[in-house]
Amino acid sequence: MRTLGVPGRTATVLLAASIGVLATGTAQAQTGGTGSDGYWAVPPPYVSSYLPGDNGGRNSFDYQPKNACVTRDLGQQQVVLREKPWGQQYLQVDEAQQLVRAKTGAAGRGIRVAVIDTGVTRHPYLPNLEGGGDYVVAGDNGLNDCDGHGTEVAGIIAARTPADQIGFTGVAPDATIVSIRQSSQNYQKPDAGGATSGQQTGGRQQNDANGAGTTQTLAQAIVRAVNLHVDVINMSVDNCRPADGSITDGERAVQAAVRWAVDNNIVVVAAAGNTSESCPQNDQADPNRPRSIVTPPWFSDDVLSVAAIDENGGVAPFSVNGPWVSVAAPGTNIISLDPSKGSNQLANQTIENDKATPIQGTSFAAPYVAGVAALVAAQYPQLTARQIMNRIRVTAQHPGAQGGRDNFIGYGVVNPVAAVTAIVPSEEGVAADSAQQLPSGLPDDGAKDWTPMIVALAGTGGGLVVLLVVMFVMRTIRRTREAR
């Protein structure tokens, strides 16, 4: 068991973990256009001048703690989870790993995955872990996870668990995690004051004083990951706001940063976002005029945006819909690493409003896809980042929608086995498929010669006339004889 402490109280839960969701932006909104100009579903053009530096992997100031960090009560009885997570079985992760190991000898070895999140706590099942920077506390290096969220995300990507002990495993257990702490719900600005009770889910708006993390520092963290030469970036933190036809400086910085990352051959994966009071679902009549805009998923030309499905294979109700959704992955009833310092256990619950609830969110669907990207990168080292992103899209289990995608799960649920084995035509120089009218196999319809039919019909008609005449004559003769 572990406990989550906040001022004045302590909440206890079986193998719990944090679910923090959103990092926010502080830049002032700029009105660069209106909805009719395409600033709703489609972002404005990329502007390279907004690309920030990484500021040395540090923020310009230290956030201050407001809640106690995730801890584990060593006096309580441990509960060991030995079942294999449903998402791992649903995606056939083990089979995909076997295929990659057969070719490379490992499952993601040599691939570096940046986790831009709430930090990653050291855990026995994360042997390949590096600190990459800290935008919350300048003196740290990304290896302190006060919230627990980033540790759980990292576990889904690259946890290496004993084969004879636990069914749970990371998607790419031989990959290296590079942790960059960029946000936290347990820290706030020095002048914010006050404290909130417990972890929170849902959207936080820009200039939010109740947490650490802005779109500007998110952009800096992305650039930091590029400078650290990672192969994949996972962002399970994002910003949701009303779609009002504007774009902020912070959003422009993120847009420039993700373009910079992909241009430097790095696969960028981001959570699609979770609905909340401040982030309403995009269920309006016109899908091209969404109610909510989520960053970084909004910049889908350069980002694999990941929606969440539940155990029935349906779209999770909290998963934000939108034209930018790329693919989907499991996002409910998650099992991952217990993020408490000193723990060697797993987690399957979190504290929300003083209650133990299952871990869920698009935050935990994204790392499944980041792990698949790591496997693909290891399996096909010659592929570029855009080719890897395209391979994940085209091998997904497409929905029955026009064009093979929709606004709920994008191009479909990710398919790890297909992603590491399929032949993708574009990689072989083969043109993409296009609709064609297929021949029936019958001879062409030539000009009709109606003469035989006319002769046949004329002969038939003449025969009928003769027959009628004969019948008339015979009937007349018969009646004459009877009259006598």
Distances in Å between the Cα of 105 and the Cα atoms of 164, 167, 251, 417 are: 20, 21, 41, 17
- Report the percent of the chain where pLDDT is more than 70: 81
pLDDT of 6 over the 80 cut: no
Nearest to 149 by CA among 321, 4, 264, 315: 4
Report the phi/psi class of residue 133: left, alpha or beta, with left for phi > 0 and alpha for psi in -120 to 50: left
d(CA 198, CA 377): 39
Task: Tell me what pLDDT residue 20 has.
Answer: 33
Tokens in use for 51?
A: 């690309």
Task: Tell me what pLDDT residue 205 has.
Answer: 34
Distances in Å between the Cα of 432 and the Cα atoms of 134, 167, 392, 424, 426 are: 43, 40, 16, 10, 7
End-to-end CA distance of the chain: 123
> Within 10 A of 94 (CB to CB), how many other CB atoms are there?
16
Note the pLDDT tens digit of each residue in 278-330.
899 999 988 889 999 999 999 999 999 999 999 999 999 999 999 999 999 99
Q: Residue 260: which pLDDT band, with cuts at 50, 70 and 90?
A: very high
- Report the percent of the chain where pLDDT is more than 90: 56
Note the pLDDT tens digit of each residue in 386-404.
999 999 999 999 998 888 9
What mean pLDDT comes out for the span 323-349?
Answer: 91
Task: Tell me what pLDDT residue 26 has.
Answer: 36
Q: Which residue has the tokens 């079986």?
A: 14
Torsions phi, psi for 462 (to 5 deg)? -65, -40
Contact 63, 69 (CB under 8 A): no
pLDDT of 80 over the 90 cut: no
d(CA 146, CA 119): 8
Q: Residue 433: which pLDDT band, with cuts at 50, 70 and 90?
A: low
pLDDT of 366 over the 70 cut: yes
> Within 10 A of 356 (CB to CB), how many other CB atoms are there?
16
Q: State the SS3 of 203-219.
A: CCCCCCCCCECCHHHHH
> What's the burial of 49, exposed, middle or buried (CB within 10 Å: 0-12/13-18/19+)?
exposed
What mean pLDDT comes out for the span 248-259?
Answer: 95
Q: Which residue has the tokens 């020095």?
A: 190
What mean pLDDT comes out for the span 412-438?
Answer: 85
Task: Tell me what pLDDT residue 114 has.
Answer: 98
What mean pLDDT comes out for the span 448-457?
Answer: 79
Q: Which residue has the tokens 């889908």?
A: 300
Task: Tell me what pLDDT residue 79 has.
Answer: 57
Task: Tell me what pLDDT residue 255 has.
Answer: 97
What mean pLDDT comes out for the span 425-437?
Answer: 76
pLDDT of 71 over the 80 cut: no
Domain borders along the chain are 2-424
Who wins on pLDDT, 38 or 159?
159
Nearest to 223 by CA among 181, 267, 257: 257
pLDDT of 459 over the 90 cut: no
Question: Which range among 48-52, 412-416, 434-438, 461-465 shows the weakest confidence by mean pLDDT?
Answer: 434-438
Q: Residue 435: which pLDDT band, with cuts at 50, 70 and 90?
A: low
d(CA 241, CA 257): 20
pLDDT of 484 over the 50 cut: yes
* Assigned superfamily of 2-424: Peptidase S8/S53 domain (3.40.50.200)
Q: Which residue has the tokens 């797993």?
A: 346
Who wins on pLDDT, 443 or 196?
443
Task: Tell me what pLDDT residue 342 has.
Answer: 87
Q: Which residues are catalytic?
A: 117, 149, 363
Tokens in use for 320?
A: 């934000």
What mean pLDDT comes out for the span 67-94?
Answer: 77
Task: Tell me what pLDDT residue 276 has.
Answer: 87
Who wins on pLDDT, 191 or 33?
191
Non-local (6+) Cβ contacts of 407 within 8 A are: 282, 287, 321, 322, 323, 325
pLDDT of 244 over the 50 cut: yes
pLDDT of 30 over the 70 cut: no
What mean pLDDT comes out for the span 33-59?
Answer: 80
